[in-house]
């Protein structure tokens, strides 16, 4: 969430950032925020003046009572009653204005970093680099949705029977491949100094607001109405919320956490091959990395996290590219996002497998996540997160890119985790 002072002190810069995002009615919304804050400050100032006057009257009443002038004291006390009523009215008005201002600020996305390219959609994203050779597959290559049937490793029909579309059942070597990838990703993160967290997969409303899923993505989240809890769309939500309403010491930074969790997304998507099979699911597994950093270090950290995810893709021997997302394709809470895409040789298209983002103070302002420096003053920390990695499209690419006429070769780095080197 943006700070009102941030809007007030850099109005033109914030406006330009929102326009880069194609945020509608940006100038009107920013002016409303400033006006509401002015009203809040004016109301608070008037309350402070009334309180000061009441304090002065209280002292005067004390003096009069000590001097035996009770009758005069009673008359002045009547004025105090009127001031109390006026103060309470102002308090109620102020609470209403603060609620309206907060609701408005929740609708304003984060301001993009200066390096974010302008654009309206994924077509305008900027390719930063490409790495790895595109496999030259044999004639008769199959997309992963046919391969999983051929080798009986993932069953979508059984998932439909048990739950519904978008909830596959992993079987045999398919289940072992899932487990191998999860353990590989966790072990790699631990080797890089991350601290493992196993978070809850249901969160309360405060947690959803804290990391920005609410109110922006409410329709994409599964909701347990009886308990007012949400199934997590990503491990970022519970892991980052560990630090809600926390004041850290500067010496605690950076904090590096990693966690595996199932993720749940209601988004229906569209029809077509690009969402077929494992390309888009309602439930999937993901290993998430989260960092809390000093503001001076967050962009250095972002580059480090991007390089780390790229290292995982290299070890899995998958061709990939890195995109810097444009203003129109960025997530609501992000200041800068890199997407990592792997090439699917059977589908002959790029598949997103990770997003690594710096949120600067946007989440920490909502979370009230601060740190205290050597000067004993507190300031907002920066938060970052990344998928390292999401499994479905990684599995799809491994299956498609490594297929041969007599089976599917597994990446060498996974052999110790799998106990086999080929699906046949």
3-state SS, residue 230: strand
355 is in an annotated binding site: yes
- The neighbour count for residue 382, using CB atoms within 10 Å, is 27
| pLDDT, mean of residues 168-189 | 98
Q: How far apart are CA 261 and CA 243, in angstroms?
A: 18
Low-confidence winner among 84-93, 336-345, 367-376, 382-391 (lowest mean pLDDT): 84-93
Encode pLDDT of 49-88 as tens digits. 888 888 888 888 888 888 888 778 777 777 777 788 888 8
Encode pLDDT of 230-261 as tens digits. 999 999 999 999 999 999 999 999 999 999 99
Tokens of 393: 């499209």
Full DSSP string of 36-83: HHHHHHHHHHHHHHHHHHHHHHHHHHHHHHHTT-HHHHHHHHHHHHHH
pLDDT on residue 80: 79
- Does pLDDT of 185 surpass 90? yes
pLDDT on residue 349: 96
- Does pLDDT of 268 surpass 60? no
Q: What are phi and psi of 163, to 5 degrees?
A: -130, -65
What topology does CATH give the domain 4-106? Answer: Helix Hairpins (1.10.287)
Encode pLDDT of 206-231 as tens digits. 999 999 999 888 889 999 999 999 99
Q: How far apart are CA 13 and CA 10, in angstroms?
A: 5
Tell which wins on pLDDT, 360 or 272. 360
Tell which wins on pLDDT, 78 or 163. 163
- The neighbour count for residue 386, using CB atoms within 10 Å, is 25
Q: How far apart are CA 207 and CA 186, in angstroms?
A: 24
**346, 400 Cβ separation under 8 angstroms:** yes
pLDDT on residue 62: 84
Q: What is the mean pLDDT of the chain?
A: 94
Q: How far apart, in Å, are the Cα atoms of 318 and each of 6, 148, 175, 389?
A: 42, 19, 20, 13
**355, 365 Cβ separation under 8 angstroms:** no
Domains 4-106 and 122-423 share a fold: no
353 is in an annotated binding site: yes
pLDDT on residue 53: 84
What lies within 8 Å, CB to CB, of 61 at 6+ separation is 73, 76, 77, 80
| Per-domain boundaries in the chain | 4-106, 122-423
Under the banding of pLDDT at 50, 70 and 90, the label for residue 273 is: low
Q: Which residues of 253-286 are buried (b: 16+ CB within 10 A; e: fewer)?
A: bbbbbbbbbebbbeeeeeeeeeeebbbbbbbbbb
Q: How far apart, in Å, are the Cα atoms of 146 and each of 229, 278, 343?
A: 37, 11, 18
249 is in an annotated binding site: no
Low-confidence winner among 18-22, 68-72, 297-301 (lowest mean pLDDT): 68-72
45 is in an annotated binding site: no
Q: How far apart are CA 157 and CA 166, in angstroms?
A: 10
Q: How far apart are CA 253 and CA 315, in angstroms?
A: 29
Q: How far apart are CA 396 and CA 347, in angstroms?
A: 10
| pLDDT, mean of residues 295-306 | 98
266 is in an annotated binding site: yes
pLDDT on residue 199: 97
Length of the chain: 424
**380, 362 Cβ separation under 8 angstroms:** no
What lies within 8 Å, CB to CB, of 251 at 6+ separation is none
267 is in an annotated binding site: yes
Which residue, among 243, 257, 287, 286, has the nearest Cα to 193 in the 3D structure?
257
348 is in an annotated binding site: no
Under the banding of pLDDT at 50, 70 and 90, the label for residue 180 is: very high
Q: How far apart are CA 294 and CA 298, in angstroms?
A: 6
Handedness of CA 132, 138, 144, 148 (dihedral sign): negative
| pLDDT, mean of residues 120-132 | 97
265 is in an annotated binding site: yes
Percent of the chain with pLDDT over 90: 84
383 is in an annotated binding site: no
Q: Strands 370-372 and 247-249, how do they pair?
A: parallel
Domain 122-423 has CATH 3.30.200.20: no
């Amino acid at each position: 969430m943006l700070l009102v002072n941030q809007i007030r002190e850099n109005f033109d810069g914030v406006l330009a950032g929102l326009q880069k995002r194609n945020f509608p009615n940006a100038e009107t919304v920013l002016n409303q925020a400033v006006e509401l804050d002015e009203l809040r400050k004016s109301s608070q100032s008037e309350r402070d003046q009334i309180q000061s006057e009441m304090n002065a009257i209280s002292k005067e009443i004390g003096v009069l009572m000590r001097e035996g002038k009770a009758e005069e004291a009673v008359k002045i006390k009547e004025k105090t009653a009127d001031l109390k009523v006026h103060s309470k009215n102002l308090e109620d008005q102020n609470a209403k204005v603060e609620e309206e201002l907060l609701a408005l600020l929740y609708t304003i996305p984060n301001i993009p970093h200066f390096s974010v390219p302008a654009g309206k959609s994924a077509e305008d994203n900027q390719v930063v680099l490409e790495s790895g050779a595109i496999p030259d597959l044999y004639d008769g290559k199959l997309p992963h949705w046919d391969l999983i049937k051929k080798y009986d490793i993932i069953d979508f029909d059984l998932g439909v029977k048990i739950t519904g579309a978008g909830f596959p059942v992993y079987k045999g070597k398919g289940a072992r491949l899932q487990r191998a990838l999860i353990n590989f990703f966790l072990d790699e993160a631990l080797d890089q100094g991350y601290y493992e967290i196993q978070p809850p997969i249901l969160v309360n409303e405060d947690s959803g607001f804290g990391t920005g899923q609410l109110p922006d993505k409410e329709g994409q989240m599964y909701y347990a109405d009886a308990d007012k809890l949400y199934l997590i769309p990503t491990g970022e939500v519970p892991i980052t919320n560990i630090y809600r309403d926390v004041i850290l010491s500067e010496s605690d930074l950076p904090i590096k956490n990693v966690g595996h969790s199932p993720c749940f997304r209601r988004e229906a998507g569209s029809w077509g091959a690009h969402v077929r099979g494992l390309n888009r699911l309602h439930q999937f597994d993901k290993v998430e990395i989260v960092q809390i950093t000093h503001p001076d270090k967050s962009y250095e950290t972002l580059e480090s996290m991007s390089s780390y995810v790229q290292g995982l893709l290299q070890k899995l021997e998958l061709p990939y590219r890195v995109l810097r997302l444009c203003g129109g394709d960025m997530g609501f809470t992000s200041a800068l996002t890199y997407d990592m895409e792997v090439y699917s040789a059977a589908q002959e298209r790029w598949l997103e497998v990770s997003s690594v983002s710096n949120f600067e103070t946007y989440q920490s302002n909502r979370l009230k996540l601060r740190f205290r420096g050597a000067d004993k003053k507190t300031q907002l920390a920066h938060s970052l997160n990344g998928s390292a990695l999401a499994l479905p499209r990684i599995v799809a690419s491994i299956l498609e890119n490594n297929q041969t006429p007599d089976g599917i070769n597994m990446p060498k780095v996974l052999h110790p985790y799998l106990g086999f080197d080929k699906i046949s």
